[in-house]
Amino acid sequence: MELEFLGTGAGVPGKFRNVTSVALKLLDERNSIWLFDVGEGTQQQILRTNIKPRKIDKIFITHLHGDHLFGLPGLLSSRSFQGGESELIIYGPKGIRQFVQTAMRISDSHLSYPIRFVELGDEGVIFEDNKFKVSFLRLDHRIESVGYRIVEKSHPGQLQVEKLKQLHIPSGPVYGQLKRGEKVTLEDGREIDGKEFLGKPQRGRIVAILGDTRKTKNSLVLAKDADVLVHESTFAKNESKLARNYYHSTNVQAAGIAKQANVHRLILTHISARYTGKMANELQKQAQTVFKATKVVHDFDVINIPLR
């Protein structure tokens, strides 16, 4: 599981940062990629990575401001040109369906795959299968903006091979069955229950990706015990009044959320074009006085999220 940042800037594309988009790469877990926001030029950014658009099967939009949305029509068309045939699901606030369908209709674009839209209604779980659960809560921005919480379900415990050897259970395909927790009858008639030979389940990973927002209680709920929290950092430590007036957060406010929510690692993105070079480093240093495990990311940074 990895996060790859395709755009880390705020408002408009800049010389050093493109506008917002982040890919959650689940290639080992489910052979797919989930995109969170698709700012203008996202498909150009993808060309500089090893991401294949056809692998993208879910797109989550946090809100309908242009710097999180304007790259979507182009990306959808490119996915079609590059051999995408499987269904794509787009999640987002009400209006996302109209935006996409209008762009496709007026540009006379025809896609080779179906799109399913999930416009967000009641807060809570919007996707769940045997490996992942995704939920959302509303945040505090000038228009409706949401944060997403991605929870990986627990991994089965490790097979206790030494314990099996002590019982003279030969290795082979039977080990695979036992690792799946199945009951197996051996050639000597013994019945073995795989569940009795598994260690404790391993906790799955949690990732919280928030849209633009003022400091709000829902951020704490979404970030609770997360392995990684991705939070905007449009303003610096001494600009809390500006942040509130423009419905954004400061770097130290994000750090406070991470600390209070017992987050393992904080990633700051949505950086204003005013902060370049040393100034961006200063944003990180300020936040680290509140929460040490903080990183200000740049375009194309990749964050590995290992099992703990």
Helices (H) and strands (E) in the chain, counts: 10, 16
pLDDT score recorded for residue 177: 85
How are beta strands 294-296 and 302-304 bridged, if at all?
unpaired
- Give the chain's mean pLDDT: 94
In this model, does residue 278 exceed pLDDT 90? no
- Per-residue pLDDT averaged across 102-120, rounded? 96
67 in a known ligand binding site: yes
Confidence of residue 42 (pLDDT cuts 50, 70, 90): very high
Q: Could you say which of 37, 57, 67, 299 is catalytic?
A: 67
pLDDT digits 0-9 by tens, 180-197: 888 988 888 888 888 888
Going from the C-alpha of 208 to that of each of 136, 205, 214, 215, 219, the distances in angstroms are 9, 10, 16, 15, 9
Is 67 an annotated catalytic residue? Answer: yes
Is 193 annotated to bind ligand? Answer: no
Instruction: Tell whether residue 248 is among the known ligand binding residues.
Output: no
Q: Could you tell me which residues come within 8 angstroms of residue 268 by beta carbon, excluding any fewer than 6 positions away?
A: 231, 232, 233, 251, 254, 283, 284, 287, 294, 295, 296, 297
> For residue 21, what pLDDT is reported?
98
Q: Per-residue pLDDT averaged across 286-297, rounded?
A: 98
Residue 176, pLDDT score: 84
Residue 63 annotated as binding?
A: yes
Task: Identify the structural domains of the chain with CATH numbers, from first to last.
Answer: 2-155+202-304 (3.60.15.10), 161-197 (no CATH)
Specify the DSSP element, H or E, that contains 245: helix 240-245
